Amino acid sequence: MHRSAAIPATALALILAGCGSKAEAPVEQIVVRQPGQPAASAPTAAAPAAGDLVAAGKAAFAVCAACHSVEPGGASGIGPNLHGVVGRAVGTLAGFTYSKAMSGSGITWSEAELQAFLANPSAKVPGTAMAAGQVADAQRRAAIIAYLASLKH
């Protein structure tokens, strides 16, 4: 018999088979939680463990990586190589030409100084050549700094 497109095969099969057959249950059902319930371990709620912080910082560093290398001994890009920057005195990396503002700032990059710089680079070092890289979120700044601090060796 010629089958019409208007009466799709599924529908014809239905007419022939009738209703009321058994529902096809899932082969496997993993229930994580109910809708509306809070997630068991929300990543932003509790203070993250140290390892997590470094990992989060590594991920967040992606926005910096366009200008900064973190390879030990790696060449500087638009910005200076940041390997071992925590504890380093400003303007001391050989082979990179800093702005006058930066090299004359007299900063040594402690975690607190980095916090202030990344929160607003041109407020901390007026006239810096670092045009991007402001990080508004304090948690993210902390994570990035933890990551930079982990790159000592």
Partner 1 sequence: MNDMTKPPRSRAAKWTRRGFIGAGVLTGGALVIGVGMRPGNPVAKLGPVVAGGKGEQLINSWLKIDADNVVTAIVPHCEMGQGAHSALAQMLADELEADWSLVRVMQAPADGNYLVPDTIRAFVAPGTLDAPDWLEPTWNGLFTRIARLADGMITGGSSSVRSTGQHTMRIAGAAARQMLIGAAAQEWGVPAAEITAANSMLSHKASGRSAPFAKFAAAAAEQDMPQTPVLKQPKDYRLMGTDAPRLDIPAKVNGTASFGIDAKVPGETMSYAAVRRVPVPGTRVAKMDASQAKGMPGVLQILNMGDFIAVVADSYWQAQQALNAITAEYTKAESPVRSGADQFARFAAVLDKAGESGGKAVVTRGDAKAALAGAAKRISAEYQAPYLAHAPLEPMNATVRVKDGRCEIWTSTQVPLMARSAAAKALGLSADDVTVHHPLLGGGFGRRLEVDYVVMAARIGQATGFPVKMIWSREEDLQKGLFRCADLSRIAGGLDAQGRLVAYSSVFTQRHDPADACDCAFYDIPNKSIRHAESDLHLPFAAFRSVDHSQQAFFIESFIDEAAHAAARDPLEFRLAMLGQSPRHKAVLEKAAAMAGWGKPLAAGHGRGLALVESFGTIVAEVVEVDMTKGKPRLTNVWCAADPGFAMNPDGFRNQMEGGIVFGLTAALYGEISLKDGAVEQSNFHDYQMVRMDECPAIAVEIINGDHQKLGGAGEPGLPPIAPALANAVFAATGKRIRALPLAKQFV
- Report the partner that residue 24 touches, choosing among partner 1, ligand HEC, none (CB closer than 5 to 8 A by kind): partner 1
Q: Cα separation of 15 and 96, whole Å?
A: 79
Q: Specify whether the CB–CB gap between 147 and 52 falls below 8 A.
A: no
Binding mask 26-65 for partner 1 (x = CB under 8 A): xxxxxxxxxxx--x---x----------------------
Give the Cβ contact number of residue 81 at 10 Å. 20
Q: Cα separation of 31 and 34, whole Å?
A: 8
Is residue 129 part of the contact set for ligand HEC (CB under 6 A)? yes
State the residues that interact with ligand HEC by CB under 6 A. 63-64, 66-68, 78-80, 82, 85, 90, 93, 98-99, 101-102, 109, 114, 118, 128-133, 135, 144
